[in-house]
């Protein structure tokens, strides 16, 4: 550089390399700029945490349906180790398969729901969703009496007390459709419907294209736009591969009827927390079950029946008008 500056008439002089001062400056400027651009482009790599880099096990892991028992065990061990490393919690992680002769169905009594949103947060507590940004599988619509037009519903109602006398409340979550549009659009088959009727996501196979989110008529799918924020005390260690194990940034997730609970005979978290008994869950193939009785004796309906998705989530009202606030129940 100093050599170049010291020469008397540098603009036209050619040195041994055939390089003028002007072209040198231009080229070196471009080179510095190019390098800076490359560094800038690669700079997100500096923020990579050690556990963001996939291990060999993670890289060669097969699709859920193609893994044999040994390969599944390797995957479970890898995920458990990661949970232990991140949250210092020993998870009870397993792969639970559907039961023979069981098809899960949900029924929700709109005459009983009071819109308290306990189900929303019991679900978050159970399923290790990101706390910030918030990911919630259930959203509760406050609907004016006398219409089922979802456009009239309000998500963010905030009152000192619920229910308000002139509204009813309509919780919406994944409807576990029998003809699910979300599974058809997935380009990598990372989501599918299981024999017991639950539509699941293989979080290790999802590429985050969000086609399924667009395809769902019920707005039931949630995307991890950023790394889920969870504190160790938020973690529910009772986990399964297809349900509530911690997710990564860039994958879809959704309600899975708490399959790590329900496939072992328990009730889903939202049913357990409901203070009014508006939520009903069971095996529709058992004619004695609560949901079979409801389908038999109540006037049930599904949301957006016209789109032909055949939901396994039914709504119904009791056969009487809803009561104004404070009257006998």
- Interacting residues with another protein between 211 and 230 (CB under 8 A): 225-226, 229
Report in angstroms how near the CB of residue 162 gets to another protein at its nearest.
5
Q: Is 127 a binder of another protein (CB under 8 A)?
A: no
Q: Does 283 bind another protein (CB under 8 A)?
A: yes
One residue of 128, 173, 289, 309 binding another protein per CB under 8 A: 289
List, as one string, the DSSP characters of 43-98.
GGGGG--GGGSPPHHHHH---GGG--HHHHHHHHHHHHHHHHHHH----EEE--PP
- Of the candidates 75, 82, 53, 58, the one whose C-alpha atom is nearest the C-alpha of residue 230 is 82
> Per rule CB under 8 A, is residue 155 in the interface with another protein?
yes
| Residue 86: exposure state from Cβ atoms within 10 A (0-12, 13-18, ≥19) | middle
- Burial class from Cβ neighbours inside 10 Å (0-12, 13-18, 19+) for residue 34 reads exposed
**Does 151 participate in binding another protein (rule CB under 8 A)?**
yes
Residue 263 contacts by C-beta under 8 Å, 6 or more apart in sequence? 96, 97, 98, 99, 196, 240
41 interacts with another protein by CB under 8 A: yes
Indicate whether 232 belongs to the interface with another protein (CB under 8 A): no
146 touches another protein (CB under 8 A): no
> Could you say which of 44, 70, 146, 187 contacts another protein (CB under 8 A)?
44
Q: Does 129 bind another protein (CB under 8 A)?
A: no
CB 181 within 8 A of CB 154: no
Q: How far is the CB of 321 from another protein (least distance, A)?
A: 14
DSSP 280: E
Q: Contact 180/199 with Cβ under 8 angstroms?
A: yes
Kindly tell me which residue out of 117, 205, 248, 307 binds another protein, with binding defined by CB under 8 A.
117
Tell me if 148 contacts another protein by CB under 8 A: no
CA dist 269 and 11 (Å) reads 78
Question: Which residue's structure tokens are 């060669």?
Answer: 60
CB nearer another protein, residue 37 or residue 58: 37
Q: Which stretch binds another protein (CB under 8 A): 65-73, 130-138, 175-183, 184-192?
A: 130-138
Does 133 contact another protein by CB under 8 A? yes
Find the binder of another protein among 156, 299, 306, 321 (CB under 8 A).
156
Contact 250, 208 (CB under 8 A): yes
Residues 5-34 binding another protein (CB under 8 A) are 26, 29-30, 33-34
Q: Are strands 252-254 and 221-223 parallel, antiparallel or unpaired?
A: antiparallel
Q: Is 176 in the site for another protein (CB under 8 A)?
A: no
267 sits near another protein (criterion: CB under 8 A): yes
101 binds another protein (CB under 8 A): no
Choice from 217, 290, 302, 317 touching another protein (CB under 8 A)? 290
């Amino acid at each position: 550089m100093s050599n170049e500056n010291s020469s008397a008439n540098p603009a036209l002089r050619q040195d041994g390399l055939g390089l003028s001062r002007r072209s040198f400056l231009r080229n070196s400027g471009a080179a510095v700029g190019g390098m800076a651009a490359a560094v800038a482009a690669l700079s997100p790599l500096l923020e990579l945490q050690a556990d963001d880099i996939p291990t060999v096990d993670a890289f060669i892991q097969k699709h859920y349906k193609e893994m044999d028992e040994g390969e599944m065990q390797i995957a479970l061990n890898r995920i458990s180790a990661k949970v232990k490393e991140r949250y210092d919690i020993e998870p009870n992680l397993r792969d639970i398969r559907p039961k023979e002769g069981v098809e899960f169905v949900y029924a929700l009594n709109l005459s009983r729901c009071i819109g308290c949103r306990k189900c929303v947060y019991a679900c978050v507590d159970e399923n290790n969703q990101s706390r910030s940004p918030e990911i919630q599988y259930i959203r509760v619509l406050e609907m004016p009496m006398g219409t089922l037009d979802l456009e009239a519903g309000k998500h963010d109602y905030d009152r000192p007390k619920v229910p308000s006398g002139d509204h009813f409340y309509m919780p919406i979550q994944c409807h576990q459709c029998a003809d699910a549009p979300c599974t058809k659009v997935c380009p990598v088959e990372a989501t599918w419907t299981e024999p017991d009727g639950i539509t699941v996501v293989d979080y290790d196979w999802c590429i985050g294209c969000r086609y399924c989110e667009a395809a769902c008529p019920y707005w039931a799918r949630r995307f991890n736009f950023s790394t889920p924020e969870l504190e160790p005390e938020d973690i529910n260690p009772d986990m399964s591969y297809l349900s509530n194990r911690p997710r990564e940034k860039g994958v879809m997730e959704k309600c899975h009827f708490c399959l790590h609970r329900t496939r072992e005979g328990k009730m889903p978290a939202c049913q357990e927390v409901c203070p009014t008994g508006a939520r009903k869950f069971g095996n529709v193939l058992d004619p004695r079950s609560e949901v079979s009785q409801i389908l038999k004796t109540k006037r049930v309906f599904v949301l957006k029946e016209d789109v032909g998705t055949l939901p396994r989530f039914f709504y119904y009202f009791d056969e009487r008008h809803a009561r104004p606030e404070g009257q006998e129940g």
